[in-house]
Amino acid sequence: MTCRKAKKLIPLCAGDDLRPRLGTAVRAHIDACLSCRKELGEYRQDLTRLKTAAKAESVPDWSEGEWRALAARFKPAAPGEKGPAFLAQPRWAAASVLGAFLGLVVLAVLFKGPMGGPERVATAGRTDQAAAVRKQDVVSMTMVSQETGLQIVWFLDKNFEWKGDEN
Amino acid sequence: MRMNETEKELVEMVLSGRTEAFEPLVTPYRQPLLALAYRLTRNREEALEVAQEALLRAFRSLARYDVSRSFRNWLFQIAANEARDRFRKRTREKAALENAAREEPSSSAPEAGRERREIRSDILRCLAVLSPREREVFVLRDLEELDIKETARTLDCSSISVRVNLSSARRKLREEIRDNFPYLEE
């Protein structure tokens, strides 16, 4: 390892934050290089001083009033009672479900098949009317004898001309 | 640092509806959480807001907490996210103000103006030379003494990213101490 490469890694070496194999290589170089050893020592000292100064400095704390006010906000509802379970799912899950639903809607619109447009509706209307007229072309009449139970059925066309009977 | 049995019991109590158990659960971390927020935001009032919001978010999302993790680190993660969100929001809102502050020749800090009035501590003034990400990494790894892996997890980034930012942060801080805070070296 060269000094140039070692000096790049010294800041991490100072806190023992290199991966084991790289750390071993850097330490091997440092053991043999006075300049890099000196720099590593300085980094370690600076780091220690920063940590010491950070521990010694005063950091803010909660006033009792601030803490009480916050603690009061922990009361209203338990985390498990915050509404439907699906709301507790991660956002990506909700987004996936929504995306899938929208995709299905788009597919349903695209592949719904021929639409019942005005022309088709009109044609269908005419067909129904023709069928209705055809149905009315033939009329049947049934006579049932109350005494014997005999049934006589007459089939007549629209002009009431006899077509046949069955019993 | 794993969650201890008492904390597990308190978490289960809160999740079963006994919300009064949340306060004893977080009380041991209230000061460390505020200190972390203070070092990230460098402003007492904002740190208080970050810590409050972090604790409320923790309360609301306790059901998603992974009990195999350290509860303290989980709180730190929420607080770091909150501080970052606020920083981004503030950056957007006050871009013009910050540009004006940066143009001042006497300012070596990336964020001047409002923060300069707030900063009393040498450590916080040192941290001013770091980018937000470098500051997060340095505070969590060196001041809060999380390991690299846990720092990466807390900041939702890779270990490589942590090492890159940590190296850069330590280099900048060393220069800053030598240039502006020589008495810290004594």
pLDDT-based confidence at B166, cuts 50/70/90? very high
Residues B44 and B132 in one domain: no
Helical ranges in A15-63 per DSSP H: 20-32, 34-56
Does B103 fall in a domain? Answer: no
Are B142 and A51 a contacting pair at CB < 8 A? Answer: yes
Evaluate whether residue B102 is within a structural domain.
no
Q: Is residue B88 located within the same domain as residue B120?
A: no
Contact A113, A126 (CB under 8 A): no
In terms of domains, do B84 and B4 share one? yes
Indicate the number of domains in chain B.
2
- Strand, coil or helix: B186: coil
- Domain membership of residue B76 as a residue range: 1-93
Under DSSP, is residue B161 helix (H, G, I), strand (E, B) or coil?
A: helix
Task: Measure CB to CB from residue A73 to each of B48, B56, B64 and give the nearest one.
Answer: B56
* Range picked from A58-72, B24-38, B168-182 for highest mean pLDDT: B24-38
Same domain, residue pair B4 and B84: yes
Residues B82 and B141 in one domain: no
Q: Mean pLDDT score of chain A, rounded to an integer?
A: 77
Per-residue pLDDT at A39 exceeds 50: yes
Mark whether B85 and B130 lie in a shared domain.
no
pLDDT at B41: 87
Give the model's pLDDT for residue A112: 72
CA distance B10 to chain A (A): 13
pTM of the model: 0.64
Q: Is B184 on the interface with A (CB under 8 A)?
A: yes
Between residues A57 and B136, the one the model is more confident about: B136
* Helix/strand/coil for B94: coil
Last residue within a domain, chosen from B65, B93, B121: B93
Element (H, E) at A64: helix A64-72
| Chain A neighbors of B62, CB-CB under 8 A | 79
Alpha-carbon span B120 to A133, nearest angstrom: 99
> Which domain-ending residue is among B61, B93, B125?
B93
- The answer to whether residues B78 and B133 belong to one domain is no
Mean pLDDT score, B57-80 = 90
Domain boundaries, chain A: 3-54, 135-167
E strands, chain A, in order: 138-144, 151-157, 162-166
pLDDT, position A133: 58
In a domain, B37, yes or no: yes
B166–chain A Cβ distance below 8 A for any pair = yes
Question: Are B122 and A57 in contact (CB < 8 Å)?
Answer: yes
Q: What is the mean pLDDT of chain B?
A: 83
> pLDDT-based confidence at B183, cuts 50/70/90?
low
Gyration radius (Cα) of chain B, Å: 18
Q: Based on the fold, state whether residues B118 and B176 are members of the same structural domain.
A: yes
Shared domain check, B82 and B115: no
Query: Model confidence over B111-165: pLDDT tens digits?
Result: 544 444 444 567 777 888 899 899 999 999 999 889 999 999 999 899 999 999 9
pLDDT band at B57 (very low <50, low <70, confident <90, very high): very high
The whole-number average pLDDT for the span B163-169 is 94
pLDDT value of position B105? 52
Tell me how crowded residue B112 is: count the other CB atoms within 10 A of its CB: 19
The percentage of chain B sitting over the pLDDT mark of 90, rounded to a whole number, equals 39
Does B173 contact A50 at a Cβ distance shorter than 8 Å?
yes
pLDDT value of residue A2 = 87
Q: What CATH number is attached to the domain comprising B42?
A: 1.10.1740.10
* Domain boundary pick from B93, B123, B140: B93
pLDDT at B170 > cutoff 50: yes
Asked if residue B88 and residue B4 are part of one domain, the reply reads: yes
In a 3-state reduction of DSSP, which class is residue B68? coil
Q: What pLDDT is stored for residue A68 in this prediction?
A: 86
> What pLDDT does residue B114 have?
46
Residues 110-149, chain B, touching A (beta carbon < 8 A)? 121-123, 126, 141-143, 148
Q: Are residues B51 and B121 in the same domain?
A: no
Same domain, B11 and B85: yes
Q: What would the pLDDT profile of A85-136 be if each residue is shown by its tens digit?
A: 445 566 778 888 899 999 999 888 888 755 554 555 555 555 666 665 555 6
B51, amino acid identity: A
pLDDT for the residue numbered B148: 93
| B92 band by pLDDT with thresholds 50, 70 and 90 | confident
